[in-house]
Structure 1
Amino acid sequence: MKLVLFSILFFINTLIVCSQTEQNWIGLEGKIVNKIMESPIYATIQLESLPYGADNRIFKSDIDSGIFSFKVVANTQYKVKVSAKGYMDVTQEINVEPGLAPLLIEMIPNREGALLSLNINFEQGRARIMEDSFEELDKMVKMLKEYPKMEIQLEGHTDFRGSASANLRLSERRVEAVKKYLTSENISSKRIKTKAFGGSMPVSKESTEEAKLKNRRVEARILKTE
């Protein structure tokens, strides 16, 4: 009798181990963006399998692209909770199946301090906005019109090389140029503050062209949403 019981238990344990070993893990990919501006967001992703939460993990999206990628068990239901400073939390349930399309998770800013990276290009050494930036600025106009009580602060940055005073003046002129574009689209100037930093807050201190481009930027900080 003991031998039979031992054999049964051994068989059950073997099935469990085999089941766990043979789980079909597949990649779950996606991107987290600002719903209005479509700009990438650096966020925390909490993953929990349903119904019992046996698989519970935390990930981060890429700081530059907002893209995430991790392995999950196929044919399993998961709850995904996404949180980021200055944005409303997003929670959704997904059924993970082979061939699942990449997720697009859109977040809405709802707290003071949310910082939006704007893809705005200027002529070299000048404050003239290039035409390929108008689409990005129109997204900002759309956001401000959809949230009529929202107030923002445009923050201008340059690369840190060169004259500090010249860089400061250039960043001032550039944020004023962006403000002028927004107000030309019937956005009240009272809702838009500006602040220039010159090259005092570089994203990168590397000497590559890519690093320089990252340092030359205009960002929009949410000051008020309602």
Structure 2
Amino acid sequence: MRREFFKLIAPLFLITPAFSQTPDSLIYAEGNIISAETKEPVTARITYQSVPYGNKVGVLNNNTYSFPMFEMEKYSIMVEAPGYQMAKYLLDPAEAKGENKLVRNIELTKGSHVTGQRVAVGNVIRLDNLIFQVGRTKIGPESYEELNTVAKMMQDNSDMVIQLEGHTDYQGDAKENNKLSQGRVDAVKSYLVYKGIQKNRIKTKAFGGTQPLSREDTPEAHRMNRRVELRILEN
């Protein structure tokens, strides 16, 4: 009798795997890497990581990319190729609008440094020669050449609107890091305005230490994380 009872109720019990997200519910980010000038494929180093904590990371070397966006997290994607400016985008799974794919093709612009040529909207340029005193917002004289080049680029492209994005490393107090990164982009904006660029063409955003390029606990990694990036909003 007991055996018959269990035969009757067994179909009522289902074992559900303890996964937080099934494959059918995953959204995949994918796209092609192409030259903005020729529209031909470009093989690049593609680095992606979830934000703000960067606990999910990956590196690809190809002219296309595809990766799953777990837990509906946003992902930062950085694309680098020899002879081209670095491009950086933020991918938001909400942009998929109910589909299981978020397609974003990325165009790379010729040139490894800030130049006066036309730059594609969405591109991010890291200001590698922008130097600040440790823990301060004062711009060092060795930074003037690169900032003068940025000013010239904006003068040559009168419709260009940029966003200056400030980053610190992730050490120390989060509020102080955010304040420091805001102070640094404000200082860069003031310099560009001094050079004749209208205020309304320069937006600023502070990230503090929430978007590190590396999670390695080394002086080199921390130095790389302390940066200002220039994002093209309009052009």
- Maintained 8 Å contact 1:157/1:215: yes
Q: Following the alignment from structure 1 to structure 2, what is the Cα–Cα distance between the partners of residues 220 and 116?
A: 5
Paired residues for 1:31-50 under 5 Å: none
Q: Which amino acid aligns with 2:193?
A: T
Distance in 1 between the 2:230 and 2:112 partners? 22
Give 1:125's aligned residue.
135
Matched, 1:85 2:100: no
- The CA distance in 2 between the partners of 1:104 and 1:117, in whole Å, is 10
Contact 1:44 1:60 in 2 (8 A): no
What is the percentage of aligned positions where both structures have the same residue? 40
What's 2:194 paired with?
Answer: 184
Distance in 2 (alpha carbons) for counterparts of 1:161 and 1:129: 21
Partner residue, 1:154: 164
TM-score, length-scaled by structure 2: 0.54
Equivalences for residues 88-127 of structure 1 within 5 A: 108-111=118-121, 113-119=122-128, 120-127=130-137
Q: Over aligned residue pairs, what C-alpha RMSD do you find?
A: 3.0
Give the TM-score taking structure 1 as reference length. 0.56
Q: State the secondary structure of the residue aligned to 2:43.
A: strand
The equivalent residue for 1:99 is none
CA apart distance, 1:132: 1.0
Number of matched pairs: 144
Counterpart position of 1:12: none
Matched, 1:175 2:185: yes
Find the structure with the greater CA-based Rg.
1
For the residue of structure 1 that corresponds to 2:159, the secondary structure is coil
Please point out which of 44, 47, 61 is paired with 1:60: 44
Which 5+ residue runs of structure 2 have no aligned equivalent? 1-32, 36-40, 47-77, 84-104
Structure 1 unaligned blocks of 5 or more:
1-42, 46-56, 69-83, 91-102
CA distance in 2 between partners of 1:104 and 1:205 (Å): 25
